């Protein structure tokens, strides 16, 4: 009853905001949060399609996405912790040794 296109538009909008967050914010953890936002936008589009196509595949897939997102967040944050110990900062511009 909710037109699918609207929900998909919402999903696209959230995704775009996430992309902007990755490119514009300086704090590493906020960048991570933007990535989570992007993942959620994708989740929304999966559910929508699943509903629209009378299929459960989308829902199952969301299940997996959430698990993977969790795992990724855990590992990412521990890496940031590690780097923070040396760099004492969370500004992503400081993490720039891997260059020419």
Binding of residue 85 to another protein (CB under 8 A)? yes
* CA–CA dist 1, 67 (Å, integer): 30
* CA–CA dist 81, 86 (Å, integer): 9
Binding of residue 17 to another protein (CB under 8 A)? yes
Residue closest to 45 by CA, chosen among 74, 17, 15: 15
Binding of residue 86 to another protein (CB under 8 A)? no
* CA–CA dist 82, 7 (Å, integer): 39
Binding of residue 42 to another protein (CB under 8 A)? no
Residue 88 beta carbon to another protein: minimum distance, rounded to whole angstroms:
7
Helix, strand, or coil (residue 25): coil
Judged by CB under 8 A, the number of residues near another protein is 81
Site for another protein in 59-78 (CB under 8 A): 59-60, 62-64, 66-75, 77-78
Residue 87 beta carbon to another protein: minimum distance, rounded to whole angstroms:
10
């Amino acid at each position: 009853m909710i037109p699918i296109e609207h929900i998909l538009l919402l999903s696209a909008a959230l995704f775009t905001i996430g992309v902007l967050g990755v490119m514009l914010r300086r704090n590493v953890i906020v960048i991570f949060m933007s990535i989570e936002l992007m993942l959620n936008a994708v989740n929304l589009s999966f559910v929508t399609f699943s509903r629209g196509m009378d299929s459960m595949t989308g829902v199952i897939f969301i299940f997996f996405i959430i698990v993977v997102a969790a795992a990724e967040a855990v590992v990412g944050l521990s890496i940031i912790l590690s780097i923070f110990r040396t760099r004492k900062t969370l500004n992503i511009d400081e993490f720039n040794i891997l260059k020419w």
